[in-house]
Copies of this chain bind each other. A is one copy, B any other.
Amino acid sequence: MENSISILRRCAIQPTPQRMAVVDYILKTPSHPSADEVLENVRKRCPTLSRATVYNTLNLLVEKQLIKTQILKEGLVVFDPNIQQHHHFIDEDSGQIYDVPWDTFQVPEIDSLPDYEITEVQVVVRGRKKKP
């Protein structure tokens, strides 16, 4: 896998150790962490990392379209390393967010909005584990 230095260079972001650590974490995780979860986890390897640097770096990565923000939880933004079109399933008990492949649903063309340019379509499914 491409290393964090070249990823950052390609995006014209200076590869500092802090940014490399954040990139390593966020692009490797299958999860959809919040800024705080990123901070907590990356601090294990980079204990002096500050909250501001995490937000700065994540916002930079969003600008450069390496990751996406998702509005799926109340009161906090989560960051999604998967920038391909896809859907989400949210376990309402654990709060875990799972990716759902794009072709799971046949989302029809939206012809009823001729003067709008659609920028994103997403199916959001929420549920909880059955207790038998």
Chain A positions near chain B (C-beta within 8 angstroms): 69, 71-75, 77, 89, 91-92, 104-108, 110, 112-113, 115-130
**Majority-rule SS of A interface residues:** strand
Q: Report the 3 A-B pairs with minimum CB-CB distance, sorted nearest first.
A: A118-B127, A120-B126, A116-B127
CA–CA, A118 to B88, complex, Å?
Answer: 13
Bound Cα distance from A124 to B107, whole angstroms: 11
- Number of identical protomers: 2
* Known contacts A104-B112, A115-B130; A69/B74 CB under 8 A: yes
B125 near A123: Cβ-Cβ < 8 Å:
no
> In the complex, A119→B75 CA distance in Å?
20
Does the CB pair B123–A119 fall under 8 Å?
Answer: no
B104 adjacent to A116 (CB under 8 Å): no
- Give A132 Cβ to nearest chain B Cβ, in Å: 8
Q: How far is the CA of A121 from the CA of B90 in the complex (A)?
A: 10
Contact B129 A115 (CB under 8 A): yes
